[in-house]
């Protein structure tokens, strides 16, 4: 089959006006973020007289947007969104199903709402400073100082979340969002408790209770669990956890230092088998240290959370494109076999890197899998292979699990040619 796929001729892209929806700037993530920002802008325009907007209105808009930004990251809500999206029957039009499959772009709501909340809070602080300068008795200097400090924290989080900064200083981004986020929540609590006379009748109070519980919930499930390892090579380790049996298409976050650093990996679960496995490959300092110094225990928190490949059930058949340890998120779907699948796995020396046992398990589940050894054949054109597999198998969609740049290229090139394609977007 490999030879047939390499002879595939990928047609040229249609005219730009016909494929505008496949352009990165029009991704569902950006559409959701823009929708939130436009909604807030419309509210501003309807207000007409900006100077007449009450401080309470500004405060309410901060709280509404902040609630969206935080709650959309709640693990139970994420699983609920995936469950709801995948209830759509396969008998529905493909256009509807391919749109529902973009549910994993929900992070656009987080980004848009976080930016809007920061903007509204900047306006609130501006009004408070103006009132203080005009009437010094309108607010205490301490309260105003807390507002300025809180705005500084929010702006710092926004700056660290910029894609280039986040990718270059990912550990710094993660720690800033964790500790600055907690600090911001405490400052909001301080403001609410110090300015609200009747808490039980205050919307701000109850919303802060909800947001605090949402943030605390994963940490209330923090636990230290024993792990077992199989290290087939110096590049990868297969780690087994037995504390729970997750669903196919989920991921778990693990850590060796719970307050500092967390890393998410796809759960490899098999039908009727207790526990699950993680494939951890060398991709940075943390994974390198993990492989060299295999721990006896790791920390886990929260619940297993749905990932992009869950949307496979929206389609009658799927082509999976995986590179390297990207086979991890694909394997539970191969084993579950909920839909017909054609696998294309590109990796270097698969048996040497990941072990004979893993490769044989894949071949038992997917006898016609295309396993491309890059050490023997060089790097493939995955767009060509994916397009050829879709044409050969009649698949309705492609799901790509690779590095960020390659995933974006495969998804964009295929969608430009009218093929539904999904792939992680690295938004969290």
Residue 428 has pLDDT above 60, yes or no: no
312-423 shares the fold of 223-306: no
DSSP E strands in 160-286: the ranges are 223-230, 236-241, 250-257, 261-266, 276-281
- Cα 2 from chain centre: 32
Percent of the chain surpassing pLDDT 90: 67
Residues in the chain: 428
Task: Provide the CATH topology of domain 312-423.
Answer: Rossmann fold (3.40.50)
Q: What is the pTM of this model?
A: 0.91
What distances in angstroms separate CA 189 from CA 109, 145, 197, 201, 209, one per listed residue?
Answer: 24, 15, 13, 15, 9
- Tokens found for residue 19: 């494929």
The CATH homologous superfamily to which domain 223-306 belongs is: Translation factors (2.40.30.10)
Q: Hunting for tokens 């709280």 — which residue is that?
A: 63
Closest-CA residue to 125 (of 146, 147, 141): 147
For residue 227, report the phi and psi dihedrals to the nearest 5 degrees: -135, 155
Boundaries of every domain in the chain: 25-220, 223-306, 312-423
User: Tens of pLDDT along 383-427?
Assistant: 999 999 999 999 999 999 999 899 999 999 999 999 999 998 876
User: Tens of pLDDT along 197-253?
Assistant: 788 888 889 999 999 999 999 999 999 999 999 999 999 999 999 988 899 889 999
Strands 223-230 and 297-300: antiparallel
- Cα 304 from chain centre: 13
Q: Kindly write down the DSSP assignment for every residue of 242-270, as one continuous string.
A: -S--PPTTEEEEEEEETTTEEEEEE-B--
């Amino acid at each position: 089959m490999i030879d047939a796929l390499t002879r595939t001729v990928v047609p040229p892209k249609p005219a730009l006006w016909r494929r505008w929806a496949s352009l990165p700037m029009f991704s569902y993530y950006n559409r959701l973020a823009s929708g939130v920002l436009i909604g807030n802008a419309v509210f501003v325009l309807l207000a007409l007289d900006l100077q007449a907007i009450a401080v309470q209105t500004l405060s309410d808009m901060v709280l509404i947007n902040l609630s969206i930004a935080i709650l959309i990251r709640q693990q139970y809500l994420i699983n609920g969104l995936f469950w709801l999206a995948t209830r759509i029957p396969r008998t529905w039009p493909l256009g509807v199903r391919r749109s529902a499959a973009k549910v994993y772009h929900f992070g656009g709501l987080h980004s848009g709402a976080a930016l809007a909340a920061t903007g509204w809070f900047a306006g609130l602080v501006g009004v408070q400073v103006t009132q203080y300068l005009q009437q010094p008795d309108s607010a205490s200097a301490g309260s105003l100082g807390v507002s300025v400090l809180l705005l500084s924290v929010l702006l710092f989080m926004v700056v660290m979340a910029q894609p280039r900064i986040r990718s270059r200083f990912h550990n710094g981004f993660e720690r800033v969002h964790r500790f600055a986020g907690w600090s911001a929540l405490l400052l909001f609590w301080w403001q609410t408790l110090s300015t609200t006379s009747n808490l039980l009748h205050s919307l701000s109070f109850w919303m802060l209770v909800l947001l605090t519980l949402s943030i605390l919930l994963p940490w209330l499930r923090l636990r230290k669990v024993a792990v077992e390892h199989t290290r087939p090579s110096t590049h990868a380790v297969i780690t087994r956890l037995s504390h729970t049996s997750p669903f196919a298409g989920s991921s778990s976050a693990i850590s060796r230092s719970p307050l500092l650093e967390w890393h998410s990996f796809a759960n490899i679960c098999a039908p009727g088998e207790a526990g699950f496995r993680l494939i951890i490959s060398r991709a940075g300092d943390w994974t390198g240290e993990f492989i060299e110094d295999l721990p006896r225990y790791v920390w886990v928190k929260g619940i297993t959370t749905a990932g992009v490949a869950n949307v496979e059930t929206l389609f009658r058949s799927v082509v999976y494109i995986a590179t390297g340890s990207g086979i991890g998120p694909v394997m539970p779907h191969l084993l579950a076999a909920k839909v017909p699948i054609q696998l294309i796995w590109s990796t270097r020396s698969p048996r040497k890197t990941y072990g004979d046992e893993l490769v044989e398990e894949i071949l038992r589940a997917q006898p016609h899998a295309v396993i491309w050894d890059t050490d023997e054949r060089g790097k493939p054109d995955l767009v060509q292979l994916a397009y050829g597999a879709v044409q050969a198998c009649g698949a309705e969609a492609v799901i790509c699990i690779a590095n960020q740049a390659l995933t974006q290229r495969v998804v964009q090139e295929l969608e430009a040619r009218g093929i539904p394609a999904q792939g992680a977007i690295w938004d969290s």
